[in-house]
Structure 1
Amino acid sequence: MTDATAPAARVAGENPGLRIGTAPDSWGVWFPDDPNQVPWQRFLDEVVQAGYTWIELGPYGYLPTDPHQLEDELGSRGLKLAGGTVFTGFHKSDDEWQRAWDQAVKVAGLASRLGAEHIVVIPDLWRSDATSEVLESRTLTDEQWAKLAAGHDRLGKALLEEYGVRQQFHSHADSHVGTTREVLRFLDETDPQYTNLCLDTGHFAYYGGDNLRLIEQRPERIGYLHLKQVDTSLLFDVLKNDVPFADAVSQGIMVEPPHGVPDLAPVIEAVARIDPDIFAIVEQDMYGCDVDRPFPIARRTREHIFGCTHLARIT
């Protein structure tokens, strides 16, 4: 958020609620090119049929990367772009900057040309989501924390200055920033001018995080939302048995609302009171699902959200 006084000014009158969107992830899309995933044309068509207006890019290369083609495809369906995604590993070495910036040039370059103002940044996982191989230690040293924070502030500053988009950091299962203590440390060590939080309600709840408490504690750091729910009937088995996140997804750890936690209405309402211009993107991890499964879930999820709170809007 660019101005600490702006949210209060915007909510002084009638609060319109958060803009609700969806993402390729809710259609089981994790990779730019996977023959088992929903084709991108079908994804866009079903987004419209499910009743959404806002979407994310998903993995770069899944949707058309030519800005004119993408603009035409979205425009013909009445869709708008909220943001894109970049992956980083700043804790590893100084060499990670170039890898992150090479992605940012492509993703932010495309997204900003279509009017998007946010880039969701996901840290590398300590355990591969493709092979489940353990790649490194689960925890960071103080030196690695310092590199992580400095790298994200540098990236956030560059994204804002070069493309006019804001970095929203996404804590993640099987990453080094997942628990409440880790998320708070990350926020403490980064600059709110350049680095804020994409609060993914499902990933934060995955490690026992209280979404509402975090929103209450750090309202000025909430810049973006991913809406999803965790199946608590499965969660403790997943954690007890150290199930890799990708396997947990295939088992249905992220469940269709309202069958999991957290309740979405209180989260939406709490964030809408901070700033009604924040996006709330439905992102139910469903990689590996049958291509016919996502659409009815996406439609029911939208209906659930708009049925449980008045502080939600399509545009």
Structure 2
Amino acid sequence: MTNVKIRVGNAPVSWGVIENVEGERGGYARVLDEMQQTGFVGTELGDWGFLPTDPTVLRQELATRNLKLLASWVSVYLHDADRHAASEADAVRTAGLLAEVGGPESLIVLGNDPYGDPMRTHYAGRIQPEQGMTDAQWQVFTEGANR
């Protein structure tokens, strides 16, 4: 068997930092310190504004702990035509920070945010065909995805 070293990153969400959950959130310095202390080599950006968004400051905070910026999740609202422009702007803003600090290897994950729909939240992962989107809803979703 070959010895293979696997490098693993983490995300602030593992410390409870998530936009739709109330409660105490440790400061970003503590989260990054604990990531480094437990052997992680990188982090996801987390919610916009949790980690510094100034590229120079973020780069320094990560370098101090020998961490890399690996990726970011961006909630987009493909199902809501009124939020398409703001979703696109959020994605572009985040991609710019990732490119500047994380470099060309960093990844951005765009995910439709279903939290505004109680039925989809309640049945997440168990949506039945009859609970799916209508043709009109799919049209709005598709237009958002193709921006």
For the superposition of Structure 1 and Structure 2, which TM-score range results when normalised by the shorter chain? Answer: 0.7 to 0.9
- The Cα shift of 1:109 comes to 1.3
2:132 partner amino acid:
T
Alignment deviations for residues 36-77 of structure 1 (CA, whole Å, 9 cap, x no partner) = 111110000000111100210000000001000000000111
- The Cα shift of 1:35 comes to 7.1
Tell me: CA distance 1:18–1:151, structure 2 relative to 1, closer, same or farther (3 Å): farther
1:57 partner amino acid:
L
Q: Is the 8 A contact 1:31 1:62 kept in 2?
A: no
Structure-1-length-normalised TM-score: 0.38
- The Cα shift of 1:19 comes to 4.6
Task: Select the residue among 122, 142, 147 that pairs with 2:111.
Answer: 122
- The Cα shift of 1:121 comes to 1.6
1:28 partner amino acid:
G
Counterpart for residue 65 of structure 2 = 77
Counterpart for residue 136 of structure 2 = 143
Alignment of 1:156-171 (within 5 A): none
How large is the Cα RMSD of the aligned pairs?
2.9
Tell me: CA distance 1:17–1:146, structure 2 relative to 1, closer, same or farther (3 Å): farther
Tell me: CA distance 1:120–1:17, structure 2 relative to 1, closer, same or farther (3 Å): farther
2:94 partner amino acid:
V
CA distance in 2 between counterparts of 1:52 and 1:69 reads: 20
Task: Select the residue among 61, 76, 97 that pairs with 1:110.
Answer: 97
| Identity %, equivalent residues | 36
Alignment deviations for residues 120-157 of structure 1 (CA, whole Å, 9 cap, x no partner) = 222121229xxx89xxxx531123224323422x35xx
CA distance in 2 between counterparts of 1:35 and 1:64 reads: 20
CA distance in 2 between counterparts of 1:60 and 1:119 reads: 13
Q: Secondary structure at the match of 2:98?
A: helix
Counterpart for residue 196 of structure 1 = none
The structure showing larger relative contact order (alpha-carbon pairs under 8 Å, at least 6 residues apart) is 1
Which consecutive residues of structure 1, in runs of 5 or more, have no partner in the other structure? 1-13, 156-315
Which consecutive residues of structure 2, in runs of 5 or more, have no partner in the other structure? 123-130
Does 2:38 correspond to 1:50? yes
Task: Select the residue among 8, 13, 23 that pairs with 2:11.
Answer: 23
